[in-house]
Structure 1
């Protein structure tokens, strides 16, 4: 990888903010970054080589940081969300059961043998994608809190499940690896919590701020990369390491200064690089050469929307049910890990991302509908 290629990658990442600039569209930034990668990668002009080892390694760093930020967005400390956890958990379980049925049906129709993977994809929700939509539209109320709890549970469970179902033949090995990463994260939580409660972290923060050392960022990067090293050595994706550490930060309370620093490092460079790399690595021409992949993607997207919409019978308004179906992190993880392991069929990575984009589009419209309904109800009061 050379500086001219790196400059091209950074330039391509600007397409994300460009498409997301119009607030009324509610287009996630990652959509533009993926599109830029597709245009410049194997599908398009071939200017970016996603198989370059340096490019791939930097993308892995971006993947870990992206999942860390996603985990830190899960509102585990919010008392209102914790109080809604019971109902959210019941709904998440219901979605999981229906997703298992739908995943088996889709895998049977297309004869891919990936029923378990499809079930996890269909059951998943993206906290990192949905919560910013909720905040930007100023959605509130009991139903939104219960939906948030449901999303947090589903997101966590599916992130853990992906490495187990992506390669069933090595599920036991992946299970041990996942347990090792989770156990390390639990130990890390208690250690950091003790460090915070003793006041040592606050003293470190003041010293770092005074001397401009950015010690909080440096220490957290050491921890993240150590967890990532544990994950890769135990044959687990760095996605779990990043997400687990993000949950730890969310649980102990991420310092505002650290949040800003992570935002700068991740959203300013490594996350766009990762999504551009991902887009460059996916050959969407497979959708043309394998027309069944188009129908597979549409089936996955529609099955996800239907399964999440069915939660309407448990009291969740239909627009919020559709909004809760938005998925990106888990499909991206499945495509990334599956492509690295070579366990996905021709056109299957593109189909999975197509299904995810369908849910993102539907969730964007549903969120706007929920916001309009909320304003109408407020006007009647």
Structure 2
């Protein structure tokens, strides 16, 4: 990877803001960045190599930071989240039960024997997509809060369950890795909470602001990368490390100055690099020679939308239900792990990504609908 390629990546990532600029379209920036990656990657012009170790590592750093920022956006300290958490967890559980039936049926129909994997995919949500869309479109209200809780619960559960579903023989190792990350996150919460209550964090903040040291950002990034390293060593996705640490920081209380600094690092550089890398890694041409896998990808995408859209009967507005079905990290991790371990059928990895793209497209359209109903000054939704 060269500086010219990095310049190209940063330049094409501007397609995200370009598509999101017209307010009447209500499109998230993520969509444009993914399309840009597809255009210059394996599916399109081949100007960048998604397998390049440097590109891959920088993208993984960006993914960890995206998940961290997503975790900090969960309103853990908001009292309204407590009743919303119960409703969100219930919806996530119902979606999981529905996914069990649909995922088993899809695995049986295509004869892949990967029912556990499909169940996790169908039940998953992507906080890394949902929360930035909610934030960029300024969606508010109790129903949005409940859906946020649902997405957070589903994301954490599926991140933990994915290694167990993809590679059952090594499930114990992955479970230990997830437990280690969770335990360290709990320890970090108590340490950071003590620093906050004792006033130590405040004194460090004052010195850092006066002397322009950016100490809080440096410390948070060091802790995030250490936790991500633990996740990788434990054969767990950095998704879990980033999101868990983000929840810890949200629970302790994120300083406003740190939030601005993280926005600059994540949304200004590393986040767009990750989304462009993700788009560039997709080889949609590989599906052309395997029509059965094209159908599998369509079934996975439509099945996910049906599973989450079915929650409309519980009173969840359909745009939010469809938006919660948007997938990102779990399908990508499933395709990566499955390909590395040679556990998937030819073309199946691309089918997983195709299914995710279907949910992302539907989620973008649903976000546009939701913006009209749940954004500030929008008319009250009918249901």
Determine the structure 2 residue equivalent to 1:167.
Answer: 167
| Counterpart contact for 1:328–1:356, Cα < 8 Å | yes
How far did residue 372 of structure 1 move? 4.7
Q: Distance in 1 between matches of 2:151 and 2:228?
A: 24
Determine the structure 1 residue equivalent to 2:148.
Answer: 148
* Cα deviation 1:348-380 (Å, max 9, x = unaligned): 333223222322332333344455567896499
Determine the structure 1 residue equivalent to 2:311.
Answer: 311
* Cα deviation 1:113-149 (Å, max 9, x = unaligned): 3222211111122234334444555554443333232
Compared CA separation, residues 15 and 339, structure 1 to 2 (3 A): farther
Q: Distance in 2 between matches of 1:24 and 1:165?
A: 41
| Counterpart contact for 2:326–2:359, Cα < 8 Å | yes
Q: Distance in 1 between matches of 2:23 and 2:208?
A: 36
Determine the structure 2 residue equivalent to 1:129.
Answer: 129
Determine the structure 1 residue equivalent to 2:361.
Answer: 361
How far did residue 235 of structure 1 move? 1.9
How far did residue 97 of structure 1 move? 0.6
* Cα deviation 1:233-276 (Å, max 9, x = unaligned): 22222222111111111211211111111111112111221222
SS in 2 for 1:75: coil
Tell me whether 170-179 or 155-164 shows the greater mean CA deviation: 155-164
Q: Distance in 2 between matches of 1:298 and 1:155?
A: 22
Give TM-score, length-normalised by structure 2: 0.91
SS in 1 for 2:80: helix
User: Are 2:4 and 1:4 equivalent residues in the alignment?
Assistant: yes
* Cα deviation 1:164-209 (Å, max 9, x = unaligned): 2232221111111111111111111111111111111111111111
Q: Distance in 1 between matches of 2:25 and 2:223?
A: 37
Q: Distance in 2 between matches of 1:340 and 1:25?
A: 39
Determine the structure 1 residue equivalent to 2:254.
Answer: 254
Q: Distance in 2 between matches of 1:178 and 1:379?
A: 39
User: Are 2:189 and 1:189 equivalent residues in the alignment?
Assistant: yes
Tell me whether 235-244 or 22-31 shows the greater mean CA deviation: 22-31
* Cα deviation 1:298-325 (Å, max 9, x = unaligned): 1111111111122233232333322322
Q: Distance in 2 between matches of 1:207 and 1:294?
A: 57
Tell me whether 329-338 or 170-179 shows the greater mean CA deviation: 329-338
Q: Distance in 2 between matches of 1:191 and 1:282?
A: 41
* Cα deviation 1:317-350 (Å, max 9, x = unaligned): 3333223222223333333444454444333333
| Counterpart contact for 1:62–1:270, Cα < 8 Å | yes
Compared CA separation, residues 304 and 280, structure 1 to 2 (3 A): same
Compared CA separation, residues 21 and 340, structure 1 to 2 (3 A): farther
| Counterpart contact for 2:70–2:132, Cα < 8 Å | no
The alignment's C-alpha RMSD in Å is 2.3
Tell me whether 165-174 or 218-227 shows the greater mean CA deviation: 165-174
> Where does the alignment leave 5 or more consecutive residues of structure 2 unmatched?
none
Determine the structure 1 residue equivalent to 2:66.
Answer: 66
Determine the structure 1 residue equivalent to 2:92.
Answer: 92
Q: Distance in 2 between matches of 1:288 and 1:195?
A: 56
> Where does the alignment leave 5 or more consecutive residues of structure 1 unmatched?
none
SS in 1 for 2:358: helix
| Counterpart contact for 1:81–1:145, Cα < 8 Å | yes
1:1-381 matches, within 5 Å, as 1-135=1-135, 139-370=139-370, 372=372, 378=380
How far did residue 230 of structure 1 move? 1.2
Compared CA separation, residues 221 and 135, structure 1 to 2 (3 A): closer
SS in 2 for 1:38: helix
SS in 1 for 2:36: helix
Q: Distance in 2 between matches of 1:141 and 1:114?
A: 38
Compared CA separation, residues 26 and 291, structure 1 to 2 (3 A): farther
Tell me whether 190-199 or 313-322 shows the greater mean CA deviation: 313-322
Number of residue pairs matched by the alignment: 380
Q: Distance in 2 between matches of 1:100 and 1:379?
A: 31
Tell me whether 345-354 or 276-285 shows the greater mean CA deviation: 345-354
Q: Distance in 1 between matches of 2:79 and 2:341?
A: 40
